[in-house]
């Protein structure tokens, strides 16, 4: 991690302000909740779209990443892909983008991601991330859901972050929407960072990274939509990490990082989810990683590759 102030909350707020100022272009609905919190519907009752999905992914990364789309004629079935890059991948992906904040009240449940996590620091990962922002005057949380947060959840976030509700913005979109699916596809680098952490690879040795994954068609059924977005990364994601340290360490990381190293690899994610009776946390966490990885040891000049694009599984899941 680089030293100094990265200003994740300030960066994210800048993107939020752009969306609010140009809400018609982005296809979103902006308003205020009962406690004064800012609400942005990016794909529930509003149309949202690809562009706001890209901006949501950048918000999730605290403005420390670039997210873009491209068309590739050589990929006949899924020519559209999302590419993400960050030169501060640990802060962008683990301190902000990772959807690790579980927020619930009665029947409401959503996973929260974005720089508000950095202020709340309620997840175990923050025991290993020294960076903090004590001067943030506003913050943003992205929720993967089709409903705005109820007042009890807003109050919980306010209490955890130390900010009044009117200083908080909640941007939400369901997985079934275009924007919701795009911001999930934009997590190819994040899942690689999270798995590297679970493999006990030193976070401060990961200095740069980029990733991409194909964009599947959204689906109105939540389970199928969730399955497609996960499978796009698990069976079609490609990530390159640039790391410090020895060639042996880089080789070991490359060998363990791909999704094919998981015990649950080889089935569509929706079927795996059903097999474990909808218990997301019963699934092998090592499944959540890109299909292919490239790890470059920048101090030795060595590059190691592992994993593979699984066209058969993509065709089965993405259609």
**For 198-244, how does the pLDDT look when each residue is reduced to its tens digit (9 = 90+)?**
999 999 999 999 999 999 999 999 999 999 999 999 999 999 999 99
Is residue 4 very low, low, confident or very high in pLDDT (cuts 50, 70, 90)? Answer: low
260 has pLDDT over 80: yes
Please give the mean pLDDT across all residues of the chain: 96
**By the 8 A CB rule, do 309 and 78 touch?**
no
pLDDT of residue 319: 77
pTM comes to 0.95
Domain map (residue ranges) of the chain: 6-316
pLDDT of residue 74: 84
A 10 A CB-CB count for 278 gives 9
**By the 8 A CB rule, do 82 and 54 touch?**
yes
- The mean pLDDT value for 153-157 works out to 98
Is residue 281 very low, low, confident or very high in pLDDT (cuts 50, 70, 90)? Answer: confident
- Level-2 CATH architecture, domain 6-316: 2-Layer Sandwich (3.30)
Q: How many CA atoms lie within 13 A of 168 on its CB side?
A: 30
Cα distance between residue 189 and residue 293, in whole Å: 10
Strands ordered across the beta sheet of 238-243: 66-71, 80-86, 206-214, 238-243, 292-297, 302-307
């Amino acid at each position: 991690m680089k030293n100094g102030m990265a200003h994740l909350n300030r960066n994210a707020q800048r993107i939020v302000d752009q969306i609010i100022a140009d809400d018609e272009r982005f296809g979103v609905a902006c308003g205020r909740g009962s406690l004064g919190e800012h609400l942005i519907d990016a794909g529930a009752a509003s149309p949202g779209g690809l562009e706001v999905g890209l901006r949501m992914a950048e918000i999730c990364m605290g403005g420390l990443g670039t997210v873009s789309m491209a068309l590739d004629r050589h990929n006949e079935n899924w020519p559209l892909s999302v590419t993400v890059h960050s030169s501060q991948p640990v802060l962008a992906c683990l301190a902000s983008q990772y959807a690790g904040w579980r927020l619930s009240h009665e029947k409401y449940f959503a996973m929260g991601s974005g720089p508000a996590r950095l202020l709340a620091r309620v997840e175990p990962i923050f025991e290993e991330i020294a960076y903090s922002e004590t001067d943030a005057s506003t913050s943003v949380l992205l929720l993967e859901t089709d409903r705005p947060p109820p007042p009890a959840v807003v109050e919980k976030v306010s209490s955890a972050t130390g900010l009044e509700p009117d200083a908080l913005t909640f941007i939400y979109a369901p997985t079934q929407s275009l924007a919701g699916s795009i911001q999930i596809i934009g997590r190819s680098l994040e899942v690689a960072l999270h798995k590297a952490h679970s493999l006990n690879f030193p976070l401060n040795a990961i200095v740069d990274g980029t990733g991409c994954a194909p964009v599947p068609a959204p689906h109105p059924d939540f389970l199928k939509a969730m399955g497609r977005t996960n499978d796009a990364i698990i069976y079609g994601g490609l990530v390159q990490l640039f790391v410090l340290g020895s060639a042996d360490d880089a080789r070991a990381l490359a060998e363990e990082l791909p999704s094919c190293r998981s015990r649950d690899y080889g089935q569509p994610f929706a079927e795996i989810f059903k097999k474990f009776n909808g218990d997301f946390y019963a699934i092998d966490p090592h499944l959540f990683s890109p299909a292919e990885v490239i790890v470059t040891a920048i101090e030795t000049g060595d590059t190691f590759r592992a994993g593979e694009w699984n066209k058969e599984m993509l065709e089965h899941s993405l259609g």
